[in-house]
Amino acid sequence: MPCCERKRTLPLRTLVIACTLLFLPLAACLAQPAPDAPASRIVSGPGGGCIAGALELPADGPGYQTVRASRSWFWGHPDTVAALETLGRRAEAAGLPTLYMNDISRPHGGPIVGLHASHQVGLDADVWLDVSPKPELTPAARDAVEVASLVTPDGRGVDPARWSAGHVTLLRLAAGLPGIDRILVNPAIKQQLCRTPMADRAWLRVIRPWYGHAAHMHLHFRCPTGQPECRDLAPVPPGDGCDATLAWWFEQLDVPPPPPAPLHPALPLPAACTAILAGPP
């Protein structure tokens, strides 16, 4: 099977009927691998691990298109793929233009040297923070996609000429995805959300400030059920995060910044990953 075909062997119509009979949400159900596909197995955590039985996010779907395919990987746990497809549909339903989706993980996970400290177990995904209307792109044009930073050069706020209510909508939709653990964005973006009047602020909890991330958000999902070898990150603290922990990021702008500590310290690959990384997707 070519590397980029989705591992689904049942006809779509059969899957739809099966999902309906089982009273399963159609979107989540369709994202599951066919019964004869290898079961997913996540070993360790995002900073050093691997995944067997990953699914590939299709290049196009309702409300989204993948970009930079020649240098990116779109393989994830079936729940991650289903959640991203859900994000595309919910964004479309909310009236947002097509989303650009980028790296998830390699076919078996593992390191993506030089690009990501995490993204190793199919539970991390990058989505560009671009809510402007866009055409359907050719493969070549998709490789050339560049999205401008939403943050001013001094790092103290968002660019008012670029920030919009659509960004708030997109981040809120992402925060409501099933299984979401946290979403990393630039501190200036988190600050802008904190300053935005809104009735429901509970979702701000999972929006976490981090270095970079001025043009894209990094989605991290919790370990799915039935993955005993999967390692979750420490829980996100309670509260909306619009507090001293956010102010700290801006205090760092006044002093020489320390070298960023990796959120996902590099870990030695577990021995179980040797066979997984060498095997078929």
Q: Would you count residue 181 as binding Zn ion (CB under 5 A)?
A: no
Question: Cβ of residue 116: shortest distance to Zn ion, in angstroms?
Answer: 6
Instruction: Report which residue's Cβ sits closest to Zn ion.
Output: 218
Kindly state the DSSP code that residue 183 receives in the 8-state scheme: E
In angstroms, the CA 87 to CA 101 distance is 10
- The amino acid at residue 69 is A
- Say how many residues touch Zn ion, by CB under 5 A: 2
The whole-angstrom separation of Cα 108 and Cα 115 is 16
| Least distance (Å) between residue 222 CB and Zn ion | 16
| Least distance CB 218 / Zn ion (angstroms) | 4
Token pair belonging to 127:
């989505």
Judged by beta carbon, residue 32 or residue 175, the one nearer Zn ion is: 175
Stretch that binds Zn ion, among 19-27, 53-61, 186-194, 213-221 (CB under 5 A): 213-221
- Tracing tokens 């958000």 back to the chain, one arrives at 217
The number of angstroms, rounded, from the C-alpha of 15 to the middle of its chain's C-alpha atoms is 26
Report, in Å, the least distance between residue 219 CB and Zn ion.
8
Residues 120-179 that bind Zn ion (CB under 5 A): 126
Least Cβ distance, residue 77 to Zn ion (angstroms) = 15
When asked if residue 190 is in the footprint of Zn ion (CB under 5 A), the reply is no
Residue 241 amino acid letter:
G
Stretch that binds Zn ion, among 12-20, 27-35, 218-226, 229-237 (CB under 5 A): 218-226
Instruction: Answer yes or no whether residue 218 interacts with Zn ion by CB under 5 A.
Output: yes
Q: Which residues bind Zn ion (CB under 5 A)?
A: 126, 218
